[in-house]
Every structure is written in structure tokens, then in C-alpha cells.
Structure 1
Amino acid sequence: MYNVMLVDDDFPVLELLSEAIDWERLGLRLVGAHENGLNAWEQAQRQMPDILITDIGMPRMDGLELIARIRERKANVRMAILSCHSEFQYAQQAMRLNVQDYLLKDALNPAELERLLAQFKSSLDQERQSSWQQSQMQQLVQGTKELQIEKWVRNLIQQPLLSPEQMKHEAQALGLLREGEACLPAVGFIENYRQAKLRFQSDQTLRFAVLNVIEEVLQSAPVQGLKVGYDVKETFLLFTYKPSLKTNIYDQAAQSLKAVQAALNSALKLQMSFIMEESSASLEQLKQRLASLKDSAHQRFYLKEGSVVKRQAPVKRSGDLFSYYDQASGDFREVLLSKQPEAIDAVVEQWAGVVQSDEFAPEAVKDWVLKLLLDLRLKLQSLQLLRPGLSAETLHKEIVNIDSLAQLKLWLAEHMKALVTLAGKGAGTTVRSEVMEACQYVSLHLDRRISLEEVAESLHLNPSYFSRLFKKETGESFIEYVTRMKMERAKELLDQTGHSVGRICEELGYDNQSYFIKIFKAHTGVTPAEYRG
């Protein structure tokens, strides 16, 4: 499938082309429909199109500038201009930018555009086949080397060093610890892994995307480095260099890691934090320092998102987190009973500050938070303010995969806000427990597409039955409910953040910004920009 982007400040034209073209039949995917060049450029930096259909005269950034910028990033994008302008100079300038076609809106027939798109796809197929054949051997060699490095690092960390000479010979063959060289290891952690996995749909896709971006950055890094995809959450980077008084390897490595962070944020909208170890001049030192990085869970838990720091040994604390339990439980119970979800964040932040100040053991913190959440659920149920919902086992599976205090804060706030929403409905109403669980599911997954089928499956119900049940119990269809919740969340983000409309659109799981704007206006009577004022 090839990605197509439409850009035109005439919304009816966007809507017509979006709906009139059978994208899937053509083997294409419409990834964006934007009403100005700047919004299209912002998306293109994250997700470069294969085919661009754009108007010329638009606010904020015109079509010719958009074409020039995209062409700099990806030379083989197929492009066509769709415009009311018939003047020769526009076509002339478009030809200089290597635009493949120039279409006039006044005479445009969607069937004509379909024929052009089919031609674009055919040429892309030929190009892809040719480049695929040329790169197969190169990828095979590179992939084999990467697997060898991963296997070697795993053996070094996990196995006793029984054959140091053989391991050293293998290291040198892989480009590590050669004569006169040292190695500085670092480990990177994906922030907010739960949401990242949902966006990329699988660990394999996420891991592949992250390693590709890191590889591209390392090719132009100030110091030579190797990437090792230890697992989907953790990536090792091994920087090799020749020690000298003129070389500050920590500064150079930190510079490279910050470049990786910037590239991941720009290309994939992911954040990664890094911990660096001391340099290693021998195999024994490298084994010890890789193991130390692998066991740096405590430092990683309290690491500020987006950090690049040196490894520090954890300091043993004598405090007892559970001595605060009654006070914390009272604070959360009060805000839940007040039914004010906007107050949740402040209470979560307050108690996260207590945890941060004493740096309690991460596992103890997660046990404390899980007990807090489960006890509050039971309390609300005993007051007949809440029906039974997610099981303790489900919550435990979620929290065990949380690796940082920042992620734990988000997780706790999400569940607490869901409790406030459900408690507001009350257990004394006639709403069925399955419907209340579906509402909670929606509250926790507003950042992505939510289908009726997946929610029905999570409740072990037939989709048709669940659809009828939801409508009967709530008075609105499931899709209407999801849309209403997303629009309410959109209003919160517009009120409380400075995020662009495009970013809010993505954070709520919408691919098409124009469609998002249309739905928002239908819900509120104004566009997002007008709502923000």
C-alpha cells in the first residue's frame, strides 16, 4: 500500500476526492487530507507520503513550497498539482519542481484522477521492485550482522565468561574492542510503551521502526556506534573509540543520543531516555557494565522523560511507603466522591512527589498504587456508587509492564478519572455492568480508534447483541458515544494545552484532520480553531 496525501483549502474538494476515490481498490491508503500546506508539512515530517496531490494557493504555506520541502526529504514522491490557476507560469514552476501532472479543478473528473493515481502506483511498483532486488543482498548481510551482535551481547550478559579469548575474537569481528579501542555502552528506554505499542499495533513493528531510526542517526554520529535491540523496551548502543586526551567520549556519546531522541520524536513521535555507563577497555569490564545497565531498573523508574544521564547506583532508603497509605487513600476517596475528574491530576501529582522524594523501590511503589486503586474500587462498590469492573488480575497485568514513575502517574490518573465517570453514573441506575465496562474501556483508550467489535470481544459478547444492548441502556449508539467522548476530550485538550489541532487530531486516533474538524464542528457548532478563540 502506498500513502497518499491530499492538500486543498477548498474543503468540499477534499471531501469529494476523499470519498469518490476507491483508495483500497487502487492499492493506496489516504493518510491525510489537509486544508493548508503547513499542516500537511507537519504530518509529512512524521509520515512522508508516496503520492501528493496539492493545490497551489493556500494559507500558511502554498503548494509549491510544500512540494519543494517534501522533494528535499524524499525525491521519489509522485506529485500532481490540483488548482484553479491555469496560468503558464504556475505550470512552468511546477515542472521545475519535477511535478508529474497539473490538473485543473474546473475540468476535473474523479475518474481522471483515478487513472493518474493508477499510473503513479504502477511506476512506484516498478521502482520498488528494482530497489528491492538491489538491496536484498545488502539487507541480508546487515540483518545477519545485527543478529550476530544481539546474540553476542546476550551471551556476554547472561552467560559466564568461560572462553574469554573466543568472545574477544568474536567482538573484534563485530567491530568491538579492537586493538587500542574502548567501548562506552548505553541503554535506551521507550517512554510510555503502552501507548506506543497500541499505535504501532505490535512489538515487532515498534522495534523495527525504532531500530531503523537509530541506525540512520548512527551513520552520521560524531562517534561510531552499534545498536543492539535487546528487547522491544530496551536498546543498547555501543560506542567505540580510541581513547585520547582530546576525546571526551561522554560528550560525544551524549550528543549522539540526543540526536537519536530528536529523530525518534520527529519521525515516530516517540520519546526515549538513555543511561550511559563508564567506558570499557576489556571484555570483563564491558560484561560488568552491560549487566549494570540491564539492572538499572531503579534509576530508570525515577528518570525524567527525555533524559541522557550517567548510571548511578541506587541509594537504599529506610522509609516505609505504606505508612502514607491511609492518608493517600483518604485524599483519593475525597476527590472521587466529589465527582470532579479535573482534580485527579493534582492529587496524583502530589503523591508522585512523595514517592519521588524518597525514591522507594519501584516494585513497592507499584504494589502500593495497585492496592490503592483496588481498595478504592471496593469502597465505591460498597457505597453502591460503582458496579464491578476490571478485575484485579487485569489491572496487575497492566501495572507490571510499567517501567517509570511518569508512566505510572498517567496510568493511575486514567483509571481514577474512569472511576469518577462511572461513579457519577451510579450503581443504582439500570445500566448493565457490561455497558459500564464498555464506557470504562472507551475512557482508557481515547487515544486510538475504538471499534464496536473489539469492545464486544473484550466483554465476550456478540457485536450485534452488544450494539443493541448499549443503545437500549444509554439511549445512543456505541459509535455516537465514542465520538461524544472524543469530542469532550478534544475540548479539554484545546482548553488545557497549546497543542496544534493536527496533534490533537492524532492524539484522539483520527487519521484525517479535515474529518476530525468536520466532526468537531458537528458536535460543538464551531471549528477547533474557533472554539479555542
Structure 2
Amino acid sequence: MNNKVIMVVDDEETTRRGLRKTLIVWSNGRYEILTASTAGEALAHSGKTKIHILITDICMPEMTGLELVKEMKESGQQPVTLMISGHSQFEFAQEAIRLGVLNYLVKPVSKAKLIEAVEEALVKEESIERAGIIEKSADLTLLQVNREQEQAKNPVKTAYRYVDDHIHRQISLKEVADHVHLNSSYFSVLFKEQAGLTFSEYVTRIRLQHAKQLLAATGLPIAQIAEESGYQTAKYFNKIFKEYEGMTPGAYRKSLR
């Protein structure tokens, strides 16, 4: 089973069961489908399980669907949300948009419209997840270098691109200096002046950032990640990774999960 969870919240039992049945048939075991009859019950679920997609009625007793979304955000849960309602009310739609709700569906919701909306929500959720992984793996020093790239001279900009394009293999300073048609010594000084890092440290940081993204986003073996990040041995990769990150690649991967 996929680890993504879709939760349906509706106080009308018939609607709730119908939506769940449609999603179970459509998902064919790919996703876990949870249901709740009240916002309170939904919050209890979200306290134990990460909810990736939330499908909630707006008008419910005690707490509305809009209030549920606010409560979940305050508790740190921010699922991609689809709102459903028995009637279209402009003020509800406005508030839903303000809260970042992806779609607003009017009952009765057809199977085709529900599935289309959920598939769109899953694409959105994947996009958010990828952005989160990139943010977590970002090297603050490299971010500063990237911000200053516009001020860098053309040979150094070209060097940045060359390193990025060949990160999966060994790269020497001389190779890159030759690529930008500069003497190695002059290129080394120019690179340090423009990047604020030595060429060697820049390459190491780029390799590790690439490795962190693979550790977070894939299940690839660490030895393969080491190879794809330009390290000849997993042992040396582990050593460098621990020096920079304060933990082994395996521990880093576990920390994200």
C-alpha cells in the first residue's frame, strides 16, 4: 500500500460511504482511505496519522469544514484540501480560496468529478512534497552562492553549470579551467573570489546536496547514491557526508522519515 492517506469527512453517512466506496474502487489499494463523521473525529485521526488529501464537507455540526482546515493547519497538518457542499455559497468559496483549498465541489458529486479532483490533489501534494525535500536538503552556503550568481563573471557562471552537469563523475579544477579557457591558477583565484568558496569545497557541497536529495526522495542504496553523486567509494562518501552533516547518510535518511 502507498503511504499516502486520503480522509473523507462528512456528517451525512450516505455521502460519506459513497465517497469512500468510490475512492476505494478507484485507488485499488494504492492509498489508505479514512473517514470521519465529524471535524473532531477527523482531528483525532490527524493527531495520529499524516493526512495527505482531505475531502471535507463545509456544513457540519459543532465545527465546519473551514474551521477543520484552520485547526489542522495550527496543529502542523497541511493536507491538500477539497471542499464539498450541498449548495454553492459565494462566501464559503471565498473563505476556501483564502485557506488555500484546491477545489470546491457541489453535491451530489459525480464519481468522475471526484476522481478527477483527487488525482489533481495528488499531483499538487507530490509537488509540495518535492519542494519540501528540496528545501530540507538545501545547503545555505550554496543558496548564497546561487543568489550571487548574477554578479559572477561569465567564466565562473559557466563553471557552475559545468559542475552541475557532471556531478556524477570525478571533476578536476584543471578540467573545468580548460573548459572555460583559463589558466588553472587564475581560474582557482577567480572562482574563490566570485563564489566565496574554493572550487573543491563548491564541488563537495554540490555533491552532498545532490546526495541528500536522492536520500530523501528515493530508496536507492547508499552505495549507488554515492556513485551517482561522484564518489568512487561508499566509505569515502560516508566519511565526507558525516563531516558536513554530522551524521551518516543512513541516519540522515531516517531523520527525514
Residue type of the alignment partner of 1:120:
A
Alpha-carbon distance in structure 2 between the residues aligned to 1:74 and 1:92: 23
CA change 1:144–1:42 in 2 (3 A) is same
CA deviations over 1:457-488 (Å, ceiling 9, x no partner): xxxxxxxxxxxxxxxxxxxxxxxxxxxxxxxx
What do you get for the CA RMSD once the two structures are aligned?
A: 2.9
Contact 2:58/2:84 (<8 A) preserved: yes
Count, aligned residues: 150
Aligned to 2:120: 119
Residue 29 (structure 1) aligned with residue 61 (structure 2): no
Residue type of the alignment partner of 2:92:
Y
Aligned to 2:248: 144
TM-superposed CA distance for 1:67, in Å, is 0.8
Aligned to 1:101: 103
Q: Which of 58, 61, 78 is matched with 2:60 structurally?
A: 58
- SS where residue 102 of structure 1 aligns? strand
Alpha-carbon distance in structure 2 between the residues aligned to 1:142 and 1:16: 50
Contact 2:7/2:53 (<8 A) preserved: yes
Aligned to 1:71: 73
- SS where residue 27 of structure 2 aligns? coil
Identity %: 25
Residue type of the alignment partner of 1:119:
E
Matches within 5 A, 1:7-22: 7-21=9-23, 22=25
Alpha-carbon distance in structure 1 between the residues aligned to 2:115 and 2:246: 39
Residue type of the alignment partner of 2:248:
T
Aligned to 2:130: 129
TM-superposed CA distance for 1:75, in Å, is 6.2
Greater RCO structure (CA 8 Å; 6+ sep)? 2
TM-superposed CA distance for 1:19, in Å, is 1.0
Contact 1:6/1:14 (<8 A) preserved: yes
TM-superposed CA distance for 1:145, in Å, is 8.6
Alpha-carbon distance in structure 2 between the residues aligned to 1:54 and 1:113: 12
CA deviations over 1:312-352 (Å, ceiling 9, x no partner): xxxxxxxxxxxxxxxxxxxxxxxxxxxxxxxxxxxxxxxxx
- SS where residue 6 of structure 1 aligns? strand
CA change 1:104–1:84 in 2 (3 A) is same
Contact 1:23/1:29 (<8 A) preserved: no
CA change 1:26–1:122 in 2 (3 A) is farther
Alpha-carbon distance in structure 1 between the residues aligned to 2:107 and 2:246: 47
Alpha-carbon distance in structure 2 between the residues aligned to 1:66 and 1:134: 27
CA change 1:25–1:86 in 2 (3 A) is same
Residue 110 (structure 1) aligned with residue 111 (structure 2): yes
Alpha-carbon distance in structure 1 between the residues aligned to 2:136 and 2:127: 14
Residue type of the alignment partner of 1:116:
A
CA change 1:93–1:135 in 2 (3 A) is closer
Matches within 5 A, 1:323-472: none
Alpha-carbon distance in structure 2 between the residues aligned to 1:13 and 1:44: 21
TM-superposed CA distance for 1:146, in Å, is 8.9
CA change 1:101–1:117 in 2 (3 A) is same
TM-superposed CA distance for 1:94, in Å, is 1.4
Unaligned runs of at least 5 residues, structure 1: 148-207, 214-533
CA change 1:110–1:26 in 2 (3 A) is farther
Residue type of the alignment partner of 2:80:
R
TM-superposed CA distance for 1:99, in Å, is 1.1
Aligned to 1:198: none
CA change 1:86–1:132 in 2 (3 A) is same
Residue type of the alignment partner of 2:73:
R
CA change 1:92–1:133 in 2 (3 A) is closer
Alpha-carbon distance in structure 1 between the residues aligned to 2:135 and 2:111: 36
Contact 2:50/2:77 (<8 A) preserved: no
Alpha-carbon distance in structure 2 between the residues aligned to 1:51 and 1:142: 34
Matches within 5 A, 1:208-287: none
TM-superposed CA distance for 1:89, in Å, is 1.2
Contact 2:51/2:77 (<8 A) preserved: no
Aligned to 2:165: none
Contact 1:53/1:82 (<8 A) preserved: yes
Contact 1:26/1:118 (<8 A) preserved: no
